[in-house]
Amino acid sequence: MRLWTLQQSVEFFMSDVHRKRMRTKSPPHSRERLCYCFLAFLLLGPHTIHAQLFGLTGANHPELHWQEIETEHFVLVYHQGLDSIARVAAPIAEEVYHVVTTNLETPLTKRIRIYLSDNDEERNAFAFQDDYIFIWLRGIIDDNLFSLRASGTSKWLRTVITHEFTHIVIAKATHTWIDNFLPLPQIPRWFNEGMARYMEPDGWTPDLDVPLRVAAVSSKLHLGLEDFLAGTLLYEGGQSLVRYIAATYGDSALVKILKYKSGTFYNFEEAVHATTKHSLNTIYEEWHKNLNVYYNTEFGQKEDIEDVTRKIPTGLDIVGAARLAPDGKRIAILGKRTPDEATKLFILENDTNSSAKLVTGEPGIEPYLSWSPDGKYVLFSKVRFGDHANLIYDLYRCEIPGGELERITSDARLEYPDWSPDDKTIVAAKFHRYGSDLVLLNADGTGERNLTHFNDDDVDVYSPRWSPDGRSVAFSIFRKNGMRDIASVTVSNSEIHDLTNDSINDRYPIWSPNGDSIVFISFQNQSPNLYAMPRTGITQRTELHELTDAASNVLAWDWSKNKDSILITSFVSRNSVQMYWLSAHRSVASAPMVALESKKYTAWRSVRWPLVTRTPDSIPSAIISGPYSYNSLAHVKPVFAFPLIGTDKSNDGRSGTQWGLTMLLSDEMQKHLFQFSTLYGTASNTLSYDLEYANNQLLPTISIGGGNMLGFQNVLEDIAYYEREPNAHLGLNFIFHTPNSLIKLHAVYVGGEWKQLEPWNSPAFESIGPEHRPIAASLVNLIAHYDFLTPLFQGGVSGIYSDKKIGSDLTYARFRAFIHHEFPLGEDEHNMIAFIARGEAQTGDEIPQDFLGFYKYDQFGEGFNLASVRAQERLRGIRRYYYGNRLLMGTFELRERDEFFSSLVPLLKAFEPQLVEFFDMGTTWYANAPTNNPGALVLPLSSTQWLKTAGVELRSELGFDISLDGGVGWELVKNSQADWFFRVSADL
């Protein structure tokens, strides 16, 4: 899963608003430089900065001690507790190297580092260009929503190393000189992920058909990032299309596409056309047609689930998980009202004519629910930040209908909980490295003890269900040999009984109310359907009772004793998963698949690479050296380099241009971050530079930096002001996660800075009054920030203090506070009302070139300097200066998803703009005369003038505390003029 997909991997617990609004604070000096260097990079597009830099790796974890071992082609880096896993992974990696480099005819000239971690219970991995791979050992098995992927018989390490190393080799094959400066993707993501999936050992397995089949019959068989299933379809649709190219033009065509070069840059579409003699669009359309024929034919031979069930109206587009309350009258649902919103927990009170009521929108809930026997609580596992800020799963119970969450375990790594019928015991799956066992706990979460004793990294057990008599637990098992089956365990003696033992894919058992039968999902007839068997299991497949023969992915969640019906979910279309009652007594025989006359519709399913990664028992051992200690500093290297440009001015007023470069360097776990910027001015003939360093090895991030920057700062009294600023700073950043919520955090920064204010073009200001004329000063500032951040509410305070007693030329203090509260209109968080309030106060001296008040210009008025863009207070709709040492400002905004401009300009759509109607009001005044400006007019707050404006703007939030805004505003007075503006804003 390539570098641009890491953030997508945690979308199941981070809503869209969370990803945009949750931002940690940087020290002020670093924020003005490092943060806005990212802005120049971000202007290329919102998805180009790779998520890996902000991922969940080894940074800020001093409790982890890393070491490494070496093989012929790899260096495996791992923390304590994973020694044996690293030695298992080593021969697999060497086997993968031979398979992938031979298939793609691209050997590598250096060792590739593979980082292994089980610190976070993250179901993902990523590869960065042709450099390294990071793998979390909490592997993808069967626990994706809707059973959409099971990856055949391969275990996690064999599958994921093959997948990620394919990305590494693809990056090497398509490498161009520009990758040395800016690692932009050279090929489409669908092709990159499709190639990696195609290289995996299992070939095409039936479970992979589900997203393609659903998309085909919904007439939404496209690989874009819109709509539900977008991520899954990107992988499996990409694999299908890659396989189609291989089946039509040969595996060699894929290699030629990767290695094609026609000049300086790699061009994917040109490579496809040169290799196949057909355009990419022609190939895509032919693939699209073939899949439509194949899947619609199959779908037409199967049952329509809506014809054999009773639909339960929920008011939800997506039902991701469900569980029937003990009284049979309520259903707990984990779902979405619309396909693109966050998953939330709902309760449905009536299964015939009511709609689901929201209980909690807290992200991170695993799609596996259980009720307490008294019906007061819903039990589930939820990911959270543990004791060391690592992502782990713990058990929670949620009060119904109040929605109050109570965590009942701490750092337990437990999933798939089920409450026993007698209310005394909970069974759950406990994951360790990349295996698992079932454990029992008391109802309050205490007293953990093992129920199964596999103690094997190569065996996974999950989705346990208590029998109605409380004596047995049925569960899913992913065996060492790669088979997925149903088993049960007797609680009294931990004796395990294999209920199925010859399947490639049986899972998710559900007991009948009297406990004599078990219903489960099986892929034995090439599509997921429901089967029933006696509680004692089966010896041959003919003993199974088939309940459904649908092509729309049927999942069973519960069996009602009142209705003698099974609660199921099934896809209706790509963007709709609905809930139904299915009769427990129906019976059906699988319809045979109609044979298609031409093999062109199916040839892509069976095509294989010449070499396939062998099973672990067939892989020869690898020669391993080490372990050695790991030094993160030794792996610091450039991540990207990007040109900078700005306006320049000489002392005597001549205009020119600044040209320069910003570069970001980091080690592969982000323990060390370096950012260096340099510019040279053609008018000033001056070289500017700035260096920032952040050390993330300890729990507080330590930041230090300094430089000597010359450049445009702002506009004072209609004159562009340039300043040279020698500076240095040191600070500590602390991030405190709340123990039970992924979307609330506290950010604290404390530090100090020294800077020398040196006005560069002072002669230009000789004609204005001394109170507004920029001054030279040496400042030593003590700085503190505190912010409380949630997706819909942010608030914080900050303060800067400078004193002549500590070496400053001025004595002053500036304080700032802000509140930003958003109220979604309904449950669509793209449409909302927002209230923003800010207050600032300064005592003692003032700095004319950094005055407190309202500015006349936006950041790019009369000049710009991307290396040091400063946030300025301005009322949209007013272009006048207002000065003071107190400031109050409030904003009311109505925000809605932009549909109009995005449809006219397709490029805008990628930036997810909002249309914002706003009302601003604010005032600024001198509550007392500054020490160095005794002539200032002092007024009480009651005598100040409140300014009011209104208007509309188009806004795109880029992240990192930055948004781009463009629009028009009017002052709310007679005969006001339109004020068109474009600005960079940093609300927090």
Instruction: List, as one string, the DSSP characters of 5-74.
Output: GTGGGGTTTS-HHHHHH------HHHIIIIIHHHHHHHTT-TT-S-GGGGSSSSTT-TT--EEEEE-SSE
Closest among 841, 757, 755 to 798, alpha carbons compared: 841
Tokens of 328: 């049979």
CA atoms within 13 A on the CB side of 656: 20
Q: Which residues pair with 808 in a beta bridge?
A: none
Q: Residue 456 carries which side chain, given as an amino acid letter?
A: D
What is the Cα 912 distance to its own chain's centre?
16
Instruction: Give me the residues paired with residue 707 across strands.
Output: 690, 727
Residue among 513, 509, 530 at smallest CA distance from 464: 509
Name all contacts of 672-676 with Cβ < 8 Å and 24+ positions apart: 672/632, 672/633, 672/636, 672/696, 672/697, 674/636, 675/33, 675/34, 675/37
The reported pLDDT for the residue numbered 96 is: 96
389 close to 119: Cβ distance less than 8 angstroms = no
Cα 540–chain centre separation: 44
- Ramachandran area for residue 423 (φ above 0: left; ψ -120 to 50: alpha; else beta): left
Task: Report d(CA 234, CA 242) in Å as an integer.
Answer: 12
243 with 604: CB under 8 angstroms?
yes
The residue ranges of the chain whose pLDDT is under 70 are 1-56, 140-145, 147, 149-151, 181-184, 224-227, 827-829, 869, 910, 958-962, 986-988
Cβ burial, residue 697 (10 Å; 0-12/13-18/19+): middle
In 715-838, where does DSSP find H-type helix? none
What's phi and psi for 84, nearest 5 deg? Answer: -70, -35
Q: For residues 644 and 661, is the Cβ–Cβ distance under 8 A?
A: yes
Residue 836 pLDDT: 95
C-alpha separations of 976 from 139, 877, 883, 892, 949 in Å: 61, 9, 21, 20, 10
Residue 957, helix vs strand vs coil:
strand
pLDDT at 145: 65
Amino acid at 63: E
Q: What pLDDT does residue 152 have? A: 75
CA nearest 673: which of 708, 699, 701?
A: 701
In whole angstroms, give the CA distance from residue 357 to residue 370.
Answer: 18
CB atoms within 10 A of CB 739: 13
Is 957 within 8 Å of 913 (Cβ atoms)?
no
User: What is the total residue count of the chain?
Assistant: 988
As a whole number of angstroms, the distance between CA 294 and CA 661 comes to 53
Give the pLDDT confidence score for residue 898 in this predicted structure.
Answer: 85
Residue 955 pairs in a beta bridge with 914, 965
Query: For residue 853, what are the β-bridge partners?
Result: 883
DSSP 669: T
Calpha distance 829→832 (Å, rounded): 6
Answer whether 103's CB lies under 8 Å from 251's CB.
yes
531 vs 541: CA distance, rounded Å:
10
How do strand 414-419 and strand 425-432 relate by DSSP bridges?
antiparallel
The token pair that represents 27 in the structure block: 């020290």
Q: Confirm whether pTM is higher than 0.95.
A: no
Q: How far is CA 901 from CA 16, 402, 915, 955, in A?
A: 21, 41, 9, 11
Alpha carbon of 541 to those of 486, 522, 537: distances in Å?
13, 11, 10
